[in-house]
Structure 1
């Protein structure tokens, strides 16, 4: 008896194979669509509307709500946290357009209990070239009157302070700096500032680099 050709059996199986292939492709496409929709889902988060220097208190004008695609690698603050974010301080320099994360903010006060805040209006020539930032320790030197020969009449007084806030430069180039000092040093520093004879210098760093 002659053996039936194999081609007939292959033809009979081919529609089933094609149907299975179509089903797998459809299932793969559906899975891809679900994955796309999941990864493309947009969420409302907080971002920076403008630059905020380290130590500055966050205001509502500093923030904007951004809508981004959800990504498990990103952990920005939710837009619903807006009211809880206002009033916190920046732990680092924050740049416009950046997403806001929890580590960017702190509720810790800029000053210690008992310290006084004194506003120091300084000219460019009275400040170091290095940008002052909140939390930075500085020395304020009371520069005494000089004699006609240029020598100082006495040893200058020096006061240790911590920068708590830095204002924007004025049109004349001067900048107001809020500094935290001890309760006994506040009135004395106010007199130095009123007289205009002082210099702001950076405090020496410790061996640990702080």
Structure 2
């Protein structure tokens, strides 16, 4: 054998021989993360609390109360009828003192102590069993120009003084007499809004039966002024 062939044979014996066909490579095994019991318990607690909150909200939405509502305009002193009132089912805030529908018959026949507007809830403080014009009184409508009435909004029940002022031509005579102007007590029953253009306000004032005709004469002569009495005054 030649030296070349001998060298080749030796080299082939020294090379590593394959042991077999390589198979697919397996991915590294990852161990599952251990769940901590505290985190699991907290998650379950939050889920339970959320469910309870939804349940409470649904109960509140479903907890509705039948109340009395006003369905048409009712003027101060007007007697309430069933046609003036209606019923509605609402989620009522405890702070709202509305008349319950079961007590409707307790307010029918009473008088409106304030002006009632359609769509509003009826409260017991808005009705009264007493007439706004008491026995021995008269109701006198008084039309007053802007300069004859206070800028303060008049509300039912306010005490006022009806002041007689001298008419033109009598001012000097009254000044020399030194006597104070004559006044009569009254009580506001209702005051209208100012008329467009003129600003005239019509005030219904309750006075004694003896003073009613005098007040009416002052109104007719245009010699009346209205003054608010101090709170608690008569």
Normalising to structure 2: TM-score of the pair?
Answer: 0.59
Of residues 110, 129, 137, the one that matches 1:115 is 137
Instruction: After superposing the two structures, state which structure 1 stretch, 81-90 or 165-174, moved more.
Output: 81-90
Distance 1:123 1:71, change over 3 A: closer
Q: Report the RMSD for the aligned CA atoms in angstroms.
A: 4.1
2:167 matched residue in structure 1: 145
Query: Shift of residue 128 of structure 1?
Result: 0.8
2:61 matched residue in structure 1: 40
1:168 matched residue in structure 2: 193
Gaps of 5+ in 1: 1-20
Query: Shift of residue 72 of structure 1?
Result: 5.2
Alpha-carbon distance in structure 2 between the residues aligned to 1:204 and 1:31: 53
Maintained 8 Å contact 2:99/2:123 = yes
Query: Shift of residue 62 of structure 1?
Result: 7.1
Query: Shift of residue 38 of structure 1?
Result: 3.7
Normalising to structure 1: TM-score of the pair?
Answer: 0.65
Matched residues, number: 185
Alpha-carbon distance in structure 2 between the residues aligned to 1:30 and 1:134: 50
Of residues 113, 123, 127, the one that matches 1:90 is 113
CA deviations on 1:78-131 (whole Å, 9 max, x unpaired) are: 24555653542236x878865333233322222331111111111111101111
1:60-99 alignment, distance < 5 Å: 65-70=87-92, 74-79=96-101, 81-82=103-104, 84-85=106-107, 87-90=110-113, 99=121
CA deviations on 1:23-82 (whole Å, 9 max, x unpaired) are: xx6xx958964x4454222333234569989x5547678766443125556542124555
Gaps of 5+ in 2: 1-43
Query: Shift of residue 162 of structure 1?
Result: 0.9
1:106 matched residue in structure 2: 128
Distance 1:79 1:58, change over 3 A: farther
Work out which of the two has the higher radius of gyration on C-alpha atoms and give 1 or 2: 2
